[in-house]
Chain A
């Protein structure tokens, strides 16, 4: 009888250890994927992003997104590929594209451009929110991506 009890208790203890281990491995600490700006304060926007990715044959993929759930506005999103050669001129616009959205939620632009070597590149996102009726700008926000070197 005692043997059975001891066996059962050891089984339970072993299973506890296993479950504890698996539970611990599930609770990983998340780190933000990127260096988010310190506490941006938006009025209507929920989030703005800017992404850049190096592609084959000298191309780069640029991404600009924004998220907003407020009605009666027009959203003008601009995705710009900026570059610098390290001179005092700083960041210069190399390629740019703009799109207008009326739809709520997250919207975005992705564009692939050829980016010659010898520069540092980044994506610069600009979102302008206008009142659909009056055309008046109610909010403007920007976001610049991490930099890639070519």
Chain B
């Protein structure tokens, strides 16, 4: 665009703006005379409030916060009191925390494990739901008065699980002396006696309706985990 053209364009646009200014001023004067646009404090206030509400940043409600805090506080308080005073609750909590941390229990019956199908043949009232890694069922004996399932790993180590039922007059003699170690635990309300002798671990679990007797000749097995996950079918 040449200098001349630019100059002509400026003259034309200035004329248009002048004309618009005049029109605008006329409109303002007309509006001032119109009673609809006269000053009205009440209406202005309403309009301002509506604007404030529309654009206000919503503040969190204090009441709701206090309620949530009190509920949370009461829960914490209740849980703490229960943890301190109730033995059963402590045990359940400990069990829960143990389960959270221990991923080796992935070989439980719920998983797709080759032991699952084999254990279906087992007719005992209780069943081990945690089978240590590498162990496979190799023998199941179902008798009227006792049931046995045996697991074996590639190294030839064996876990022998037997359930002596209460439907028979039975004397069950346990070796009660000359153990290398002897300890008792209460898990899920069941008394568990753990003894070791010459690198063999013996678990005796007493329930209402059975004596469960488990023997391990593998020290690396989590036998307490095994005992914890013996459950009623």
- A interface vs B, CB < 8 Å? 1, 4-5, 8-9, 11-13, 15-16, 19-20, 22-24, 26-28, 30, 32-37, 39-42, 45-53, 61, 63, 65, 67, 69-70, 103-108, 110, 141, 143-148
Contacting residues, chain B, for A145 (C-beta < 8 A) = 169-171
CB of B173 within 8 A of CB of A51, answer no
- List the 4 closest pairs (A to B, CB-CB), nearest first: A23-B88, A105-B160, A12-B78, A26-B189
Chain B, interface size category, equals 35 or more
A52/B169 in contact, CB under 8 A: yes
**CB–CB B148/A22 < 8 A:** no
Question: Considering only CB atoms, which chain B residue lies closest to A22 in the complex?
Answer: B88
Q: Which residues of B contact A47 (CB under 8 A)?
A: 172-175, 202, 213
Interface on chain A toward B: helix, strand, loop, or mixed SS?
mixed
Residues of chain B touching chain A, judged by Cβ–Cβ distance below 8 Å, are 66-67, 70-71, 74-75, 77-78, 81-82, 85-89, 91-92, 139, 141, 143-146, 148, 150, 158, 160, 162, 164, 166-178, 186, 188-191, 197-198, 200, 202, 206-208, 211, 213, 215-217
| A61 CA to B206 CA, complexed, in Å | 23
Supplied contacts A8-B70, A51-B146, A69-B158, 4 more A-B pairs, CB within 8 Å: A23-B89, A27-B88, A67-B213, A146-B170
**B92: chain A residues within 8 A (beta carbon):** 23
In whole angstroms, how far apart are the Cα atoms of A104 and B55 in the complex?
Answer: 80
Contact B170 A4 (CB under 8 A): no
Q: In the complex, are the beta carbons of B215 and A28 less than 8 A apart?
A: no
Report yes or no: A51 in contact with B170, Cβ–Cβ below 8 A.
Answer: yes
Task: Compute how far the CA of A46 lies from the CA of B178 in the bound complex, rounded to whole angstroms.
Answer: 11
Interchain CB contact (< 8 A) of B170 among A13, A33, A141, A147: A33
> A33 to B166, Cβ gap below 8 A?
yes
Q: Which of A9, A20, A28, A104 is in CB contact (< 8 Å) with B74?
A: A9
